């Protein structure tokens, strides 16, 4: 068991003791998703990157839920999901700032030397490998599109 899993497990116990229901529910949901990944992985020990992948997937699902509940005018459920989101974000590594993303994209463009917007995928691949786990794909994609369109 890696450090992140140990921290989640100890935080569940701590949250149970302090009777923080929202935190317990969110962390148990995360633990269930990690256990599912463990089973899919043929019961091989999960690495920290596997646990982070599960965590990011959970965060994305909550973002999607918030979006759907907002469209459905269900503010009570939006607030509940936002609490879960804030809890899960505590376990994510620090995210890259917009400025850092733009610097990595600029470097990727220099490395790839794209011929135009058609080489978007090559630049994205290079940038995402450099920003692995530190930035959302949507943010990187927007920065790449902006950089490629301004290079004309």
Give, for all 152 residues of the chain, the pLDDT tens digit.
678 889 999 999 999 999 999 999 999 999 999 999 999 888 788 888 888 889 989 999 999 999 999 999 999 999 999 999 999 999 988 888 888 888 888 888 888 888 877 888 888 888 888 887 788 788 888 888 888 887 64
**Helix, strand or coil, per DSSP, at residue 107:** helix
138 SS3 class: helix
pLDDT at 63: 92
Helix axes 75-89, 21-40, angle to 10 degrees: 60
pTM (whole model) above 0.75:
no
Spatial neighbors of 120 by CB under 8 A, at least 6 apart, are 114, 144, 145, 148
Instruction: Give the closest residue to 62 by CA, choosing from 32, 88, 34.
Output: 88
Q: What is the pLDDT of residue 1?
A: 64
Instruction: Give the chain's domains with CATH numbers.
Output: 3-89 (1.10.1510.10), 98-150 (1.10.10.410)
* Selection from 96, 151, 71 nearest residue 119 by Cα: 151
């Amino acid at each position: 068991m890696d450090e992140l899993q140990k921290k989640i497990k100890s935080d569940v116990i701590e949250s149970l003791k302090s009777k923080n229901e929202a935190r317990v529910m969110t962390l148990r949901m995360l633990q269930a998703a990690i256990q599912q990944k463990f089973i899919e992985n043929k019961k091989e020990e999960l690495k920290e990157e596997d646990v982070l992948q599960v965590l990011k997937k959970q965060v994305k699902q909550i973002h999607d839920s918030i979006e759907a509940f907002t469209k459905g005018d269900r503010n009570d459920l939006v607030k509940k999901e936002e609490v879960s989101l804030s809890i899960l974000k505590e376990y994510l590594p620090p995210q890259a700032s917009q400025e850092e993303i733009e610097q990595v994209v600029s470097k990727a463009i220099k490395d790839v030397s794209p011929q135009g917007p058609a080489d978007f995928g090559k630049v994205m691949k290079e940038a995402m490998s450099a920003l692995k786990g530190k930035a959302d794909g949507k943010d990187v994609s927007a920065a790449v599109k902006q950089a490629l369109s301004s290079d004309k």
